[in-house]
Amino acid sequence: MSEQNTNLSEYIPDVPEHAGFKKVVLELGVANHPGVMSHICGLFARRAFNVEGILCMPVGSGETSRIWLLIFEDERLEKMIRQVEKLEDVLYVKQHDGEHPVFGRLDEFFK
């Protein structure tokens, strides 16, 4: 058989550049137990989707927690959100723009 098909390089997609460095804030309601954080962070890490900031605290009686994620918008964001929504421990995902105040006053702790 021929060797003409030397174009073997399987298609390797580029990791998208941070499109315009626009930031997005995601708000996640999650079940509060050890392990939830690994489930969520694993999804982002596997797809080389950098999480710039992360905040997590229990809400109310402590049955659930809220996680805030600061990320750069890229074209995969919507697909990413759908993967996150699929996690059993994720109750809801809301998308806010990057100006959301939740990360606002944290700067002083990162000086």
Partner 1 sequence: MQMTGADLIVKLLERQGISTIAGVPGGAALPMYDALSKSEQIHHVLCRHEQGAGFIAQGMARVSGRPEVCLASSGPGATNLITAIADAKLDSIPIIALTGQVPLSMIGTDAFQEVDTYGLTIPITKHNFLVRSAKELLTAIPAAFRIAMSDRPGPVLVDVPKDVQNQMVSFEEYPDVVVPDAAPSFDIGAIEEIAKMIEAAERPVLYLGGGVIHSGASQLAVTLAEQASLPTTMTLMALGAMPMDHPLSIGMLGMHGARYTNYVLEEADLLICVGARFDDRAIGKTAEFCPNAKIIHIDIDRSELHKVKTAHVAIAGDVGQVLSELLPRVKPQLRKRWLSHVESLKGRFPLAMPGVDNPRSPYGLIHAVANCLDDSAIITSDVGQHQMWVAQAYPFRRARQWLNSGGLGTMGFGFPAAIGAALAEPERTVVCFSGDGSLKMNIQEMATAAQENANVKIVLFNNQSLGLVHQQQNLFYGKRIMASRYERPTDFLKIAEGFGMRAVDLDPAPNPRAVLAEALNTPGPCLIHATIDPNEFVYPMVPPGAANSEMIG
Binding site for partner 1 (CB under 8 A): 1-3, 5-11, 34-35, 38-39, 42, 46, 78-79, 82-83, 85-89
Smallest distance from partner 1 to CB 50, Å:
18
Residues 6+ apart with CB under 8 A from 18: 72, 73, 74
Dist CA 54 CA 22 (whole Å): 17
* CB nearer partner 1, residue 3 or residue 107: 3
* CB nearer partner 1, residue 81 or residue 102: 81
Q: Which two tokens stand for residue 104?
A: 């606002």
Smallest distance from partner 1 to CB 46, Å:
7
19: number of Cβ within 10 Å: 11
Q: Which two tokens stand for residue 31?
A: 């079940």
Smallest distance from partner 1 to CB 5, Å:
4
